[in-house]
A and B are shown apart, each in its own frame.
Chain A
Amino acid sequence: MNMQLQPQRTSAETALIDAFGERLSLLPGDGAVMLKRDDAIEAIKHGLPTRRIESWHYTDLRRLLTAVPDFDPAAATKAIAPIVEGSAILAILNGVSSTKMPTIEGLSVQRLSEKLTDGSIAPGLDPYGSDDAIGALNTAFVADGYFIDIADGAELEKPIELQNLQAGGQTHVRLAVRVGTGAKASVVERQTGEGGGLVSSVSQLVLGEGAEVTWLIVQEQPETATHLAQFKAHLGKNSKLTVFFMNAGGKLVRQEIVVRTTGEGADFTLRGINLLAGDTHTDVTMVLDHAVPHTTSTEVIRNVVTGKARGVFQGRINVHQYAQKTNAKMACNTLLLSDDGEFSTKPELEIFADDVICGHGATVTEIDHDHLFYLMARGVDEKTARGLLVKAFVAEVIEELDDEMIVEALEARLDDWFVAHG
């Protein structure tokens, strides 16, 4: 009798494991890094997560990841115009960082390949849990990215734009950012490209005491790309982090946001929009740990779903036992524009403290016919009127951002999407 301990590997799993064997000699890293890589590929050998893993319930990666492209070292691309004029651009072109670094006071940048080679980044490579498939995939294959340090007290006038541009094949990049005490910065994480690549991208952010950061994730991959991304942040005492994400592309997308308040008085704001079209799957999964007392957070997600697109938002807020006086509010609102589209929302509050304010809400609506009639009765044609109403639904979230330059830049990206999918 044949005993099979594991289900047969999918072609994607096999391709990943084979690719690791082939790539191993090319991957940078000292002994410590290589050990992390070995552990990571072992996790993948146990199989990609399926719907039976709770955190992957709505995104059965094993079933959805049907093809893994080969690495394509010949694929080339070049840096693009930043969304905010005058930004300092740090481009990663098909997985490779640049040797040219911006010279801005208070900002120091190193290629991540160097930090892998000397092993100094090794401790940050551990996946955050047994279900962290993106972390494992990235740790196994990551070859480059940037390590960024913003000095204590530095206030960067213009945003830093990190461009992760894929041209096909596989790219696995990592961005590690340390923001010093009292420093202020805006970072744009741009995820796009022209190829149908498989991208894993992990961003790690540590905010020092009193630091203030606005981090924008603008994901506009082509509808052939697989985009697996993770944003992780630790918020120090009295620090303030605003994360805004816009998903407006990709065939299979998972954006994880993993945030932990580690110092009292920390404040986290998450605002995001998912613009979903075509036959695509987009999953945003947030895990927020209020780990110390007196920290606050609000999360507002707005989704527009057309075509046969499927969307997921999982928002989990853990309030630890001693994290008294936590104040957390989460909302997820969806505008469903087609019969074939769908959006699943799973809010979870796990509260172990007894003196907290926590709430969540979710809605799914269609375009209000009275509103549409009103606009049309003023001569606005149906397509334009629908566009105005849909844009209004998501623009409300963008307009909350303080910085006018950033608001304008994001609204321009929004307009582009509506022109392409309106």
Chain B
Amino acid sequence: MSGSAPGPPALDFPGAETPARQYDLDANGVRIAVHEWGEADAPPLLAVHGGFDFARTYDLFAPRLAAGGWRVVAWDQRGHGDSEHAALYSWDADMRDALAVFDHVAGTVGGRNGHFTPLPVVGHSKGGALMTQLADAQPFRFRALVNMDGIPYKRNIPDIAEHERTKMLSDDIASWLDHRRRTADLQRKPGTIDELAARRGRMNPRLHVDWLRRLVTTGGFESADGWRWKIDASMRFGGFGPWRPEWTLMRLPGLPMPFLGILGAEMEEMGWGTPPKKVLPYMPLLGRCEVLDDVGHFVHIEQPQLVADLVLDFFGEPA
């Protein structure tokens, strides 16, 4: 574990707070940046960000959880935020990095010597899906799990002829391979804070422009030719592979720990496009799902206090 040098101050946004502590962990040779809000000796609560996000996207939400008496611990997944740009990325690698953080945090509250300390965990989007799978594989690590709009349902495959579908797959694969051939020298496109905020706004149209501008100053860096997002330029949306979203959904009913799903009713580009009525039958025995009307994929940013109150009530007293 080592300390991270503080970056430039973030732009102000009402209710947003810079983490109280930042440090690095060595996750099997990959440097993972960890951010904490709340008192250093408060009981820990893990917060896992979504794909193409970073831990500081919890600047609004985490302080509200910390106000409930928790030490909120979030980390930048490899290639995201302040963590190392790794040579390889995969679901399993993200899971392994997560375990390094779990082990570290559990170790700070007496979870060593062969005993796992179950922790409360909240994950958004991809972070929610990752944690749902980990909760299925290693339930002893979880005291309770909150999944915020991270319940994959199934692929959005348009109703088209077979040959058209094959053509789409062909184009997807060729586009991905073309991208891979270019990544050796690739950099994110520079711009002003407003330009980067506008780009992000196209993916997050429901979020306030001042929040997006702040995101540039927490998830980006400034160099001579302007601001760039910190995320590894080799990463991109889309792609292909054998994994199917519904395989995560199948893991839900068997989860043994208390489970809370929080879904935004408004479908958005960065979301999974999961219709709430499709996932409700999959709730585990100790699970329930809250559907927030007129809220999009980023439930914790659009309605930070409402969602924090739901989560605090669900987790109960910090202990």
A and B found bound together? no
A residues contacting B by CB (< 8 A) are none
Interface set of B (CB-CB < 8 Å, partner A): none
